[in-house]
């Protein structure tokens, strides 16, 4: 099957990494999403890009066990989107001599994959980032170099990125490669988050120093809580769809086109572990909504990783079917809203705020109805 260069493309960049003729480069579309550009005159028809494409080489397995986790470190818990499972897993991995590759969010340069070799470097990798981080050739090359040098590497990314790494790294090196995929409903482009941040900075008259997409706020556990901290010391917090960026994400009008037909939105997982939020009702007294991580163990490597969480917080086994029932991306992709076709066009013409108001018009109506009922 040919490498995907159309709406099915996830933008992982694996095809560009493996191309021996270097005839594939990655470039952004008008919406800000990365796609491969192929110089067909230089192509040698080796088909390595086809083999590396995650859509052609999905290596997945069903979960063999399921756990719930909440860290006992209150500082870690306050900064994490759910129960702190990734931070604690990464910390234990580094303490055992390994290195961790995950996503950091830079207010000026945008998201990027960063390597942490000590616990102090992990803070920027914690927390959810609700827009796409491109997996570049330098990141994959560095993973291969570290594995070749005998290092143990933990890589965390979206399922399509995890499969891309599997498709590029030789099997002979994968023994020391530990893969964590996140439960992902889809990714907006950097253009949308940049437009949102510029608007917020202009409104406040100060640059944004930190953007938390899922902050913790008492009384709103388990909700999308946006917290912006500005360079001048000011801060603001908005709950759910009150925040325009959160609204565009919740109404799914800004996602990459491939996300609406994602082949990885299922219980067949590509990582050794799958991490996400626990949304199912019926938590026991040991856990709280909004502070509980869902962990799916998909391999023997995953079992060893979860075992390292013992003593770092509350860890309990859970029934897979019950724990995953309410997590939509584990069953099917999100539905493409009709307004997705105009969101980025409207943003270019009218600006980010207007595009959100136009494409998420149901929100003010729902809010009005709720006020009437009250």
CATH fold of the domain at 65-187+255-330: 3.40.640
More confident residue, 371 or 290: 290
pTM of the full structure: 0.93
pLDDT over threshold 70, residue 1: no
CA distance 158 to 184: 6
Task: Tell me the CA distances in angstroms from 36 to 5, 10, 136, 277, 320, one per residue in order.
Answer: 6, 10, 12, 32, 37
Could you tell me the residue ranges of all domains in the chain? 65-187+255-330, 190-253+337-373
Residue 6's SS3 state is coil
Q: Is the dihedral of CA 254, 256, 257, 258 positive or negative?
A: negative
CA distance 178 to 65: 17
The most distant pair of C-alpha atoms in the chain lies apart, rounded to whole Å, by 67
- pLDDT, tens digit, for every residue of 33-42? 999 999 999 9
Q: Is residue 89 very low, low, confident or very high in pLDDT (cuts 50, 70, 90)? A: very high
Q: Is residue 374 very low, low, confident or very high in pLDDT (cuts 50, 70, 90)? A: low
pLDDT computed for residue 119 by the predictor: 84
pLDDT computed for residue 4 by the predictor: 53
Mean pLDDT, range 143-164, rounded to an integer: 96
């Amino acid at each position: 099957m040919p490498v995907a260069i159309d709406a099915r493309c996830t933008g992982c960049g694996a095809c560009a990494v493996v191309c021996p003729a270097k005839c594939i480069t990655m470039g952004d579309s008008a919406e800000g999403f990365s796609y491969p550009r192929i110089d067909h005159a230089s192509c040698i028809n080796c088909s390595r890009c086809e083999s590396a494409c995650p859509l052609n080489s999905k290596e997945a397995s069903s979960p063999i066990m399921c756990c719930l986790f909440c860290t006992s470190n209150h500082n870690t818990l306050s900064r994490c989107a759910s129960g702190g499972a990734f931070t604690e897993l990464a910390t234990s991995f580094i303490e055992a001599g390994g290195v961790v590759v995950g996503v950091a969010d830079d207010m000026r340069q945008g998201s990027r994959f960063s390597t942490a070799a000590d616990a102090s470097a992990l803070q920027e990798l914690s927390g959810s980032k609700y827009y796409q981080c491109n997996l570049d050739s330098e990141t994959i090359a560095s993973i291969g170099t570290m594995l070749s040098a005998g290092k143990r590497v933990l890589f965390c990314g979206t399922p399509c990125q995890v499969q891309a790494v599997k498709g590029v790294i030789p099997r002979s090196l994968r023994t020391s490669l530990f893969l964590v995929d996140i439960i992902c409903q889809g990714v907006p482009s950097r253009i949308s988050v940049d437009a949102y941040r510029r608007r917020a900075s202009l409104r406040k008259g100060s640059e944004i120093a930190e953007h938390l997409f899922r902050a913790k706020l008492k009384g709103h556990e388990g909700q999308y809580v946006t917290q912006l901290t500005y360079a001048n010391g000011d801060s603001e917090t908005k709950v759910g769809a009150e925040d325009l960026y959160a609204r565009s994400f919740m109404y799914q009008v800004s996602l990459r086109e491939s996300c609406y037909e994602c082949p990885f939105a299922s219980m067949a997982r590509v990582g050794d572990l799958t991490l996400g939020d626990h949304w199912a009702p019926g938590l026991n007294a040991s856990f709280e909504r909004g502070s509980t991580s869902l962990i799916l163990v998909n391999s023997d490597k995953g079992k060893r990783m979860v075992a390292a969480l013992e003593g770092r917080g509350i860890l309990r086994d859970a029934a897979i079917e019950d724990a995953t029932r309410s997590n939509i991306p584990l069953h099917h992709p999100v539905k493409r809203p009709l307004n997705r076709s105009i969101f980025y066009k409207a943003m270019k013409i009218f600006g980010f705020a207007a595009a959100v108001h136009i494409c998420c018009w149901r929100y003010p109506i729902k809010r009005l109805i709720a006020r009437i009922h009250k």
